[in-house]
């Protein structure tokens, strides 16, 4: 099944969605709140065909502005697990950029590194590089290389393109790190992300050629 053939959410999806939103409007303990947000994220997310998943392929539910605001109010929750869920949800609310951009901006400066990572990913998903240019530029100095990766790619279409390309190239996992399989473990992900820099900078083009040569030498 091709992406253009994805089904619309069905009545069961919409009923479950309404129930979860209603649950968020009332009081609840942290564990239930986190669970509801996680279930909501699965409904807002588009489910693409995959041989590894039995989930029904479908388009994500498009939330209303009121529903986005209902979720966004938990962005300052004291539990980092809750904030992580909120930021992931914001990345799916593309039709409400005015509402979600400030939430994602705050997430980039969150004290929890996983929240920062989800915020950088959300900025990329939303195509909010220009709108969040200042916050993403600050994230290029993050000590966490995955945060730097997504912040850099989100900035590929902005005035920060050259600096972002340099950071993305410098953030390639070290080859000598045995935990990262010599850097090759994340090479495929890096190559997918770097496509945002089209045409590639000379340094990125050289690294891509080097990766291609290493695969040819180790079939």
**What are residue 54's phi and psi, to 5 degrees?**
-95, 5
Specify whether the CB–CB gap between 140 and 163 falls below 8 A: yes
Q: Over the stretch 140-165, which tens digit does the pLDDT of each residue have?
A: 999 999 999 999 999 999 999 999 99
Residue range(s) in the chain whose domain bears CATH number 1.25.10.10: 3-171
Q: For 191-202, how does the pLDDT look when each residue is reduced to its tens digit (9 = 90+)?
A: 888 889 999 989
| Average pLDDT along the chain | 87
**Continuous segment of H or E residues that includes residue 13:** helix 11-25
Residue 50 backbone dihedrals phi, psi, to 5 degrees? -155, 135
The length of the chain is 219
* Number of Cβ atoms within 10 Å of the Cβ of 167: 22
CA atoms within 13 A on the CB side of 42: 11
> Lowest-confidence range among 53-67, 85-99, 176-190?
176-190
Token pair listed for 180? 């990262």
CB atoms within 10 A of CB 114: 17
Q: What pLDDT band is residue 75 in, cutting at 50, 70 and 90?
A: very high
Distance (Å, whole) CA 76 – CA 115? 11
Task: Tell me the pLDDT tens digit for each residue of 26-57.
Answer: 877 788 999 999 999 999 998 876 555 566 68
pTM (two decimals): 0.86
What tokens were used for 46? 């588009």
CATH of 3-171, one of 1.25.10.10, 2.40.30.110, 3.90.1150.10, 3.30.1330.20: 1.25.10.10
- The first and second tokens of residue 175, run together, are 């080859």
Which DSSP letter does residue 200 get? P
């Amino acid at each position: 099944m091709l992406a253009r053939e994805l089904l619309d959410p069905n009545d069961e999806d919409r009923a479950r969605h309404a129930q979860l939103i209603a649950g968020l409007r009332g009081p609840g303990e942290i564990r239930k709140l986190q669970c509801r947000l996680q279930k909501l994220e699965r409904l807002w997310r588009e489910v693409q065909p995959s041989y590894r998943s039995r989930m029904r392929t479908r388009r994500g539910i498009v939330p209303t502005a009121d529903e986005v605001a209902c979720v966004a109010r938990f962005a300052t929750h004291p539990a980092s697990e809750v904030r992580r869920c909120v930021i992931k949800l914001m990345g799916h609310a593309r039709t409400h950029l005015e509402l979600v951009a400030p939430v994602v901006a705050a997430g980039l400066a969150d004290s929890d590194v996983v929240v920062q990572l989800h915020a950088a990913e959300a900025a990329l998903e939303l195509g909010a590089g220009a709108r969040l240019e200042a916050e993403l530029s600050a994230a290029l100095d993050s000590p966490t290389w995955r945060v730097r990766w997504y912040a850099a790619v989100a900035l590929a279409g902005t005035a920060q393109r050259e600096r972002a390309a340099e950071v993305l190239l410098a953030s390639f996992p070290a080859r000598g790190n045995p935990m990262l399989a010599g850097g090759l473990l994340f090479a495929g992900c890096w190559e997918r992300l770097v496509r945002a820099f089209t045409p590639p900078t000379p340094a990125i083009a050289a690294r891509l050629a080097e990766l291609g040569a290493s695969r040819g030498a180790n079939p």
